[in-house]
Structures are given as structure tokens and as C-alpha cells.
Amino acid sequence: MNQYPLWKNLLILLVVVVGFVYALPNIYGEDPAIQVSPLRGAVVNEETQARIDGILRDAGLSYRSLVLADKRLTIRFADPADQLKARDVLNETLGEEYVVALTLLPATPSWLAAINAAPMYLGLDLRGGVHFLMEVDMETAIRQAEERYVDDIRSLLRKERIRYLAIGRMQGGGIEIRLRDAEARERANELIRREYRSLLRREVDRDGAYYLQVFLSDQEIRETKKFALQQNIITLRKRVNELGVAEPVIQQQGDNRIVVQLPGVQDPARAKEILGATATLEFRMADETADVDEALAGRVPPGLRLYRQRDGQPILLKKRIIVTGDQIIDAASGIDQQSGSPAVFITLDSKGARKMGETTKENLGKPMAVVFIETKPQTRIVDGKKIKTTRTIQEVINVATIRDHFSKRFQITGLSSTEEARNLALLLRAGALAAPIEIVEERTVGPSLGKENIDQGFRSVIIGFALVLAFMAFWYRAFGMVANLALALNLVLIVSLLSMLQATLTLPGIAGIVLTVGMAVDANVLIFERIREELRNGNSPQASIQAGYSKALSTIADANITTLIAAVVLYSFGTGPIKGFAVTLSLGIITSMFTAIMGTRAVVNLMYGGRRLKKLSI
């Protein structure tokens, strides 16, 4: 009586062993490290690895390892001071072609890494890192939407041969079109009503002239703002992935703000540069008739703009933009089948495809240029004060003659390497920010503060754990010690599951673990009290053990399921810290059910099963 079959004991033993193995990585801590990643046109390979190794050796800096993986170099150090010195040296020598980012990497042994055993992620409050609160410039988002409508309406009027005198944005918002007469205005009004149903229109007579004013509707303004916010969140998330940050938090706050938390990032200035950088393309028609020398002398013909190609050669392009980067819905790098040179294959949205199709159809045999635009925020020190500026790089990467009519899908060439094509495609997929963002709040949580939070949280778990152990051992004696063993195993399994799921542990998560410690023995208390009651009723010890576990099971299941439902609801509707609490509480309920029912029963069976007993130490 009271004996598990062999398979069940082996199953419990397997769960315990796996739990201990996958919880082990958390005891090894983290190494200060540097990640070196390429920017546009740069390459990280074995030559870069050897170059960086030489730079560090010449500077007298020792490191634990220098590993090349996923087109990035990871350098581990034994001392944070060496990490900071190496960052400064590499920034000076490598220049702007590479991103040199400080980070913390787990010091997990290779034999554990080989079985994908990794420590759980620590949140910003435990690991340290940076917190940004960013505000999206919604006025610019509306202005950009109106500017796009200006170009679209201009093209539409020209296509329908409706003559206008001027078209442009008004000072207070909206678009104003000046037409020749009332008939032209009526035709334009009807055309815009038919093509752009969401726009509001108003006819105005002023100073003997005929005007048609066009406004975005309230619904479209709301949708434009919503799109700008969501697009910026997507873009920021993709850029954070480029930083290699584990478990970042990027979420909306209010109607126009975004919260970005980057655990483990120790260089907020560099993080700001990466997050704020944008990359996009503009497609413009090139002009072959105007005199470039005149333009270089400062006399640029109207309707044209002077650019530089990659080799430094000047070129004149038309101001009218055919397609911009925000109309690119996909970009992939590859090889041009005819020339064998690197290429980026572009896919446009419906609006961009229509404009590209119309342009290529009308301009067969004429050159079209691709302009690469990258904007980076910069912070300069002027007279001891920090001044925020932006630096914009604009260069023509490709000029090709339009040989055929194309619209939605096409390719661009003129790239220097396959690596540059890959990076450009990646930046285009991430997209440009839909509207400018400004960092309105910035906080840096240092590793020392995070370590203090971990120490305090660990201390709270230990104190709570010790008090529960003492009570159970005093009140239930030998059975209490069995419950204590299950409680210790429960903590190991929680840590193991957090590690296996790569969940993020925060301070509220530690609070959930402390609560689980107190709740985990509830099931054992119900079982042990039931056993005591059976003994008082005169049942034998073996029958009392059997009845205690079987009759208390339904009560235990009901109590834990209701708590689990509450935890799931917290996770579904909560954000940030609430989710962290819900995760550890949910995992704690699951593991405590296993350890309190199956775990303790297995130990009790080994201690008392199959024996003649006169009394129990309970």
C-alpha cells in the first residue's frame, strides 16, 4: 500500500534532474562584454576579428573571448573597467562604420550552452539598463500626410488636364488649390470627391481668384496619428533587435508616447543614436539637359536639386519625388541575374506601385536615380553644453535608364557589396520613422542598483523560505521536513521554467515568488491535516496516508485553479510589472501542484510505503 510504480518514480526523478540542470546557468552570473556590429556598407568577418584583436593587444587590454557569430563580434571581459576602456579605444579606431555597444552576457559554461540551457532574463530594475520615454511629433505626421496629398492631387489634376495656378499647404493646416476659373474649380472639386472620399473640401473666392481648400477629416487625422505611433513602435522594435538586447520593452503610453526599456544596455548615448537613426530611399528622375557646372556655382535651375553620387560626381535630380521609402512594404537582398552584382529587390504598396507604373510608362529611355537618405541624431558639446542636432546623409546610389514599364516589384543595383545590399534591405524593412520622435525622459539604472535590488529580493525569498521551513518542521515533524524538501524543489523548478521559457524576472516577479513560497505549502497543510483527522478517527497509518492524499486532492485543485485563473487574467490585461508578477505566480502554482502532491507523495511512499506502522511523525 502507498507505493508508486517504478515509471512514476522515474518520471519524478527525471523532472527533478532536468529542473536542476536548467536552473544551473543562473548561478554563473554575467560577463561585461562589447558587441561590434556593422553599419551600412561595413563587414564584420575574420579580418575584422584579427584587426580588433590587434587593437586590444596594442592597448594592453586583455579579454576572455573574442567570438564571431551572426555577423557580429562579441568580446567578453573579466573586469568592467577593461570593458569601458575597450569601448573607448574601439570607438576611436573603428570609426562610424561600426556600432560598438556595451552589454552584459551570461557566463554559462559551454556544456550547458550546448543543451540550450541559459539563465532567465532580468528586467531593467534588476539588471540595470536604460529607460526612454519618447514623444511622437504628431504635427509633423499630419504635415507629412498633407504633403503626400499635395503630390497626389497635383499628379491627378495634371492627368485629368485640369489647369491650376498654384497648389500647396496652408499655414494653419490643409491644402489650398488656386484655379483659373469657377468651371475648373468645379471639375477639381468633383474629381477629388470621387478619388479621395475621406477628404473634406471647401470652395473659397478671395481677391477675385478661385480657390479650393482640402482638409483631412477628423477620422483620417486620428488614423494618421495612430499609424504614426504604431509604425514608430514597429521601427523601434526592429532597431532594438539590431542592438541585440534581450527581452526589451517597447510599448505605447497614451496617445503620442512610446516607452522603451533596454535591460543590460550600459551606453544610453549609443542606444539613442541607433534608435533615432532612420534609413530610407527616394526615387527621382534625373535631368540630363541642365548644366551641372552652373549648379555647382550656386545657380541650380528651378525644379531641380543638386546631389552627389558615391564617387563624388555631382548630378541634378528633379525635386518631384516618385516614390519614398515609407511606400516600400518589403525589401530583400540578392544578386542581379544579368550583371551578377549585388541588388535589393523592392516591393511597393498599391499607391507607390501606381505612381511608379505611371512614371516608368511616361519616361521610357530616361534615367531614374535612387537616393539613399540616412538621418542620425547627434549630441555635441558646445561651450560645455549639450546641443542636440541631426546629421543627414544623402547620396545617389544608383542611376539607371528606364528600359521597361514596371510598378510594384523591381530591383536596384549600384551597391558596393552583398553585405551592403543585405544591410540596406534590413534598414528598409525596418522602415523610416513615420514621424520624428523626441526623448522627453531618460533614466539609467546602473548595474550596482540592479544588484542591490537582486540582493534585497533574494533576501526576502530566503527569509520567507526559512520561516516557512521552521514552521512546517515544528508543526508537522517528519512530514513537515518532506514538505520543506518539496518547497525547495518548487523554487528550483520555478527558476528552471523561467530560464527555459526565457521569461523576464522583475521585482514584482520576485514578489510573486515570495507569495508562491507561502502558498506552496497550503496543499501540504490540507493533506497533512486530513491525515491527522483520519488518524483521530481510528484509521491505520497507511489508510490515513492514502485517504489524506486522495480526499484533499479536489480541494487543492479547486483552490489552485481559481488562483491560476486570476493570474492568467492579470497577465492578459496587465502591462509591465503586473505581467511579471502574473508569470511567476502562474509558474509557481503549476510547480507547487506537482511538488506538493506528486513530489511529497513519492517521498512519503519511500519512507512509509509497504511497511507495518503503528504511528506517524505528523
Question: pLDDT tens across 259-297, in order?
Answer: 888 876 766 666 776 676 656 778 899 988 888 888 888
Query: What does the pLDDT average to over 384-394?
Result: 69
21 band by pLDDT with thresholds 50, 70 and 90: very high
598 band by pLDDT with thresholds 50, 70 and 90: confident
28 band by pLDDT with thresholds 50, 70 and 90: confident
- Range with the poorest average pLDDT among 48-52, 262-266, 377-381, 597-601: 377-381
Q: What is the pLDDT of residue 473?
A: 86
The proportion of the chain whose per-residue pLDDT surpasses 90, expressed as a percent, equals 11
pLDDT for 70 beyond 80:
no
Question: Which residue did the predictor score with more confidence, 115 or 330?
Answer: 115
Q: What is the pLDDT of residue 68?
A: 87
CATH 1.20.1640.10-classified regions of the chain: 6-25+446-608
pLDDT for 20 beyond 90:
yes
Q: What is the pLDDT of residue 72?
A: 80
301 band by pLDDT with thresholds 50, 70 and 90: confident
Lookup: cell for 103 = 552589454
Query: What does the pLDDT average to over 605-610?
Result: 80
Query: Largest alpha-carbon pair distance within the chain?
Result: 113
Question: pLDDT tens across 151-205, in order?
Answer: 888 888 888 888 888 888 888 889 999 998 889 999 999 999 988 888 999 998 9
Question: Which residue did the predictor score with more confidence, 447 or 421?
Answer: 421
> Are residues 210 and 184 in contact, defined by beta-carbon separation less than 8 angstroms?
yes
Q: What is the pLDDT of residue 245?
A: 63
Query: What does the pLDDT average to over 428-453?
Result: 71
Question: Which residue did the predictor score with more confidence, 308 or 574?
Answer: 308
Mean of the per-residue pLDDT values for the chain?
83
Question: pLDDT tens across 201-212, in order?
Answer: 999 898 888 999
- The DSSP code for 73 is E
> Are residues 486 and 558 in contact, defined by beta-carbon separation less than 8 angstroms?
no
pTM for the model: 0.62
DSSP string, 452-508: HHHHHHHHHHHHHHHHHHHHHHHHHHHHHHHHHHHHHHHHHHHHHHHHHTTPEE-HH
CATH 3.30.70.260-classified regions of the chain: 30-106
Grid-cell match 537613426, residue found: 277
The topology under which CATH files domain 139-219 is Alpha-Beta Plaits (3.30.70)
Question: Which residue did the predictor score with more confidence, 445 or 410?
Answer: 410
Between CA 457 and CA 126 the distance in angstroms is 9
Give the residue among 602, 600, 416, 599 at the shortest CA–CA distance from 19. 599
In CATH terms, 6-25+446-608 corresponds, of 3.40.50.1100, 3.40.190.10, 3.90.1300.10, 1.20.1640.10, to 1.20.1640.10
Between CA 119 and CA 122 the distance in angstroms is 9
Q: What is the pLDDT of residue 244?
A: 56
Per DSSP, helices labelled H in 277-338 are 292-296
Q: What is the pLDDT of residue 401?
A: 84
pLDDT for 246 beyond 70:
no
Question: Which residue did the predictor score with more confidence, 543 or 421?
Answer: 543
The topology under which CATH files domain 30-106 is Alpha-Beta Plaits (3.30.70)
Query: What does the pLDDT average to over 445-457?
Result: 70
CATH 3.30.1360.200-classified regions of the chain: 277-418
379 band by pLDDT with thresholds 50, 70 and 90: low
Q: What is the pLDDT of residue 386?
A: 63
Question: Which residue did the predictor score with more confidence, 477 or 450?
Answer: 477
39 band by pLDDT with thresholds 50, 70 and 90: low
Question: Which residue did the predictor score with more confidence, 214 or 334?
Answer: 214
- Range with the poorest average pLDDT among 7-21, 236-250, 585-599: 236-250
- Range with the poorest average pLDDT among 23-32, 88-97, 131-140: 88-97
> Are residues 180 and 167 in contact, defined by beta-carbon separation less than 8 angstroms?
no
Q: What is the pLDDT of residue 266?
A: 62
DSSP string, 195-219: H-TTEEEEEEEETTEEEEEEEE-HH
- Range with the poorest average pLDDT among 168-182, 236-250, 377-391: 377-391
Q: What is the pLDDT of residue 317?
A: 92
CATH architecture of 277-418: 2-Layer Sandwich (3.30)
Q: What is the pLDDT of residue 24?
A: 92
